[in-house]
Amino acid sequence: MPVPPPKPIKCVRKGCGKCLFCMKIVALCECTEEEKKEEPKDVMYGWCHKCREKYAEEYRNLVGTHCTYCGGDIEDNYPPLGVVLAVILFPFGIIACCMLKEKQCVKCNRTSV
């Protein structure tokens, strides 16, 4: 049975580290384990809403190049079928291979097309 991806429970912006549920520093967090089982609200790219507003320029650099869930780096993955098509149907297979490309988060393994 596959292990579910890790849920961000604190802001991933370096220097913040606040709890994404109660917005307090982790040492003062009052959240219960039951509250942390749900998805945190108002989180994009692993950043809390306060950091997104305060560090808008840094946040803009993340958009589109990092995972929207956890903020991890994104890499391109080519499925085996795409590689086989690229080799067998060269040069037109390369187009098919690029169309089948997936973007996958390095940290939580979520994929998007």
49 with 82, same domain: the answer is no
Rounded average pLDDT over 28-33 = 82
In this model, does residue 32 exceed pLDDT 60?
Answer: yes
Rounded Cα gap, residues 113 and 49, in angstroms:
26
**What is the sign, positive or negative, of the torsion defined by CA atoms of 27, 31, 36, 40?**
negative
pLDDT band at 34 (very low <50, low <70, confident <90, very high): confident
Q: Which domain holds residue 42?
A: 7-72
Count of domains in the chain? 2
Of the chain, the percentage scoring pLDDT greater than 90 comes to 4
In this model, does residue 89 exceed pLDDT 80?
Answer: yes
pLDDT of residue 5: 59
101 with 55, same domain: the answer is no
Rounded Cα gap, residues 88 and 2, in angstroms:
33
Rounded average pLDDT over 3-32 = 78
Rounded Cα gap, residues 70 and 13, in angstroms:
11
In this model, does residue 2 exceed pLDDT 60?
Answer: no
**What is the sign, positive or negative, of the torsion defined by CA atoms of 22, 27, 32, 35?**
positive
